[in-house]
């Protein structure tokens, strides 16, 4: 798992082509942990690099710990998979007691 000061083994900024578009999610984004987990679940369907999937899941866990420690607004996200499609249900958690 990488940070700005300590890029991880799968640092996309370092390995990106010069003109390749990138999209970065930060822990302060309330959707980031769920989206990283969704990416890991989808990437797992293509089992070419399980270490990258594991790192993504560790990153999502670290994002949640960071958000909790930084007292970021919590966000509850449920992802429901239906065959090859998914629906995401998002709602604000009523209070910090709901954040785990």
Distance from C-alpha of 82 to C-alpha of 91, rounded to nearest angstrom = 20
Angle between helices 50-69 and 32-44 (to 10 degrees): 170
Per-residue pLDDT reduced to its tens digit, 37-73: 999 989 989 878 899 899 999 999 998 888 888 877 6
Residue 33 CB-density burial (10 A; 0-12 exposed, 13-18 middle, 19+ buried) = buried
Residue 81 has pLDDT above 60, yes or no: no
CA distances from 33 to 25, 39, 73 (A): 9, 10, 13
Which is higher by pLDDT, 84 or 18? Answer: 18
pTM: 0.66
Looking up tokens 């090859």, which residue turns up? 84
Determine contact, residues 56/73, Cβ cutoff 8 Å. no
Determine contact, residues 29/74, Cβ cutoff 8 Å. no
């Amino acid at each position: 798992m990488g940070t700005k000061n300590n890029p991880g083994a799968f640092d996309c900024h370092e390995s990106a082509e010069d003109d390749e578009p990138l999209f970065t999610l930060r822990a302060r984004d309330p959707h980031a942990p769920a989206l990283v987990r969704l990416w890991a679940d989808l990437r797992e369907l293509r089992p070419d690099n399980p270490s990258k999937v594991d790192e993504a899941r560790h990153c999502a866990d670290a994002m949640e710990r960071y958000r909790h420690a930084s007292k970021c607004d919590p966000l509850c996200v449920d992802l429901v998979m239906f065959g090859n499609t998914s629906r995401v249900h998002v709602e604000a958690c009523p209070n910090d007691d709901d954040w785990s």
